[in-house]
Chain A
Amino acid sequence: MTRLRQTLNDIADEAPLVNLADTAIAGYRRRRRFTTGAAALGTALVLAAATAATTVPWQRQQPAASQDAGTVPDLPAGKIGPLSHAYRTRCEIRPQRTVNCDEVEWRVVTAAGTTYRVPQALAMTTKNWSVPVSISRDGRMLAYYSRQAQAHVVRDLVTGAETTSPVTVEEDRIGIGSMLVVSDDGRYVVFDPREGSKDPGTLIDVRTGRTAPVNGKYEVISVKGGVVELVRYVKTDLWLMPVTGGGKPVRFKGPYIMFNEVSPDGRTVAAVRWGQGNQDVMTLLDVKTGRVVRRLTMRGLPKDRFAHLMNTGPWVSGHEFTVVYGAVGGRAATYAVDAGTGRTRRLTGYGKAGSLVVPGVTEVSQ
């Protein structure tokens, strides 16, 4: 072996260990949603409750959380403070080219920047399906699935109170692409066992144990002010269903994906028109009539060629909503988008993680 080759090998040895299979598949699926009719199974963001535009952690600039696997303490009992985000650690790649996902776990990062392990939150099922967590839009409530309790648990990070749902959910029910949404008051969780399938979801009142089925054709976006926001893709229908049942869907002309929650005035939602070719263009839709209120081109987003819109998020005020923007395999950040001008401003950046959950937004694969 030449010394040049040896030195090149030495440099190559500095390459970080990676686990890219699932991220590549997720990126491929995401791209398909924009380029084929698979928008029907589009990623639904989940936004949580509270009608008032309360202060959310994103309004404070937070440093990106460290993703390093170091000594991270377990989430202690008691008052922790609101969360900035959560992420799932990656599988471990061993030198023998085997992958160990046994140690995959959920971690949360507080608004103050402290990272904690959450070992009680199941991250992978025995069948290796990802298990979601959900953070309310104000960062206060964390919902997760507990293997020990065979049920969902809602933890109030501000008071330290923890409520275990009296409704048993077998681990086997958690399928590929399962989703979870928690309301801002932590009272309701919506569990969708399999995104994009017709397998019905369940609305659970974790205080009383009362449940209501959620039509499997719909995906849940938020539980807000006693109303569950549901979206059916392709057609596209938006159904604002009271937690007690009822309500009627409104149909939009044309396929839309990536809906966010209803604006604080209850009149509009932001979404992405499928097939428009430019993901930086958002459409504001009237939730009563289904008409297009406005199209706006987001301005001021990073020019990284790999970056794209990963999801839409809650409203931070009456005239600004959020989006998660970043690159698959790269870093992401939340941006506030002016609903009138499309001008964006960066709120919070996140480190690289396989899966990221931010307040009011379902898991996005980075």
Chain B
Amino acid sequence: MDRHDGFREFVLARQQALMRTAYLLTGDAHLAEDLLQSVLMKVVRQWHKLSKDGNPEAYTRKALVNQYISWRRRPRPEVPSGDPPERGLSHDDATLDRIVLRQALAKLAPRQRAVIVLRFREDLSEAQTAELLGCSVGTVKSQTHHALARLRAVAPELAHLLSEQEIVEVAR
């Protein structure tokens, strides 16, 4: 037993879920790993406090999203992944949707991308998203609206994904 055992346990249990979020945010496997890695280094530093009276996962998720936005604020050329999709070679509709959405997400501003991931994949409420991003609910609403509009503009072929009633209502 050492003092990092609790941290190890937490990472082993949650790292894959966090990695999926990181991957959605960055769109690149290596960047996602770097992002999560740098956040986990912060978490391990705070572990003593977090494990006692904090919520490690909430802290980690918040740090992950904010670190991602912080990275993207700095000048950095967009580096689309050179890796081919690892799953499924058949170009069925779902595969095409995935490829097009990945490309479209890469064209969003960091906060817009984050709200898409948090609202539509993580299923967070506007208030939860605002809390996580450290902004107002109004900002989340406007970012969501602009993000969806941008997706529709850059990827009109995704209209069938973005025109579902549930999505439209969220964007109002």
Which residues of A approach B to under 8 Å, CB–CB?
2-25, 27-28, 31, 93, 97-99, 176, 305-306, 327-330, 352
Contacts and interface: CB of A to CB of B under 8 A. Distances in A.
B12 interface: yes
A14 B101 CA distance: 13
A97 B40 contact: no
Contacts of B2: 176
A51 to B, nearest CB: 39
11 contacts: A2-B167, A4-B101, A4-B167, A10-B94, A10-B98, A11-B101, A20-B15, A20-B33, A21-B7, A31-B41, A93-B15
B113 to A, nearest CB: 11
B24 A4 contact: no
A81 to B, nearest CB: 31
Contacts of A97: 12-13, 16
Nearest to A8: B121
Contacts of B160: 3
B166 A25 contact: no
A228 B164 CA distance: 71
Given A14-B23, A14-B87, A3 B161 contact: yes
Given A5-B120, A305-B74, 10 more contacts: A2-B164, A3-B161, A6-B94, A11-B102, A14-B23, A19-B12, A20-B11, A20-B37, A306-B37, A330-B34
Contacts of A14: 23, 29, 85-87
B44 interface: yes
Contacts of B43: 24
B97 interface: yes
The 6 A-B residue pairs whose C-beta atoms are closest, nearest first, are: A329-B37, A15-B23, A24-B40, A12-B20, A21-B11, A8-B121
B151 to A, nearest CB: 9
Nearest to A18: B19
Contacts of A16: 19, 23, 29, 33
B97 A7 contact: yes
B19 to A, nearest CB: 5
Given A3-B160, A8-B121, A15-B22, A27 B13 contact: no
Interface string B9-50: 001110110011111100001101110111011011100000
Residue picked from B36, B40, B164, most chain A C-beta under 10 Å: B40
B73 interface: no
Contact of B24 (A12, A22, A330): A12
B15 A21 contact: yes
Contacts of B114: none
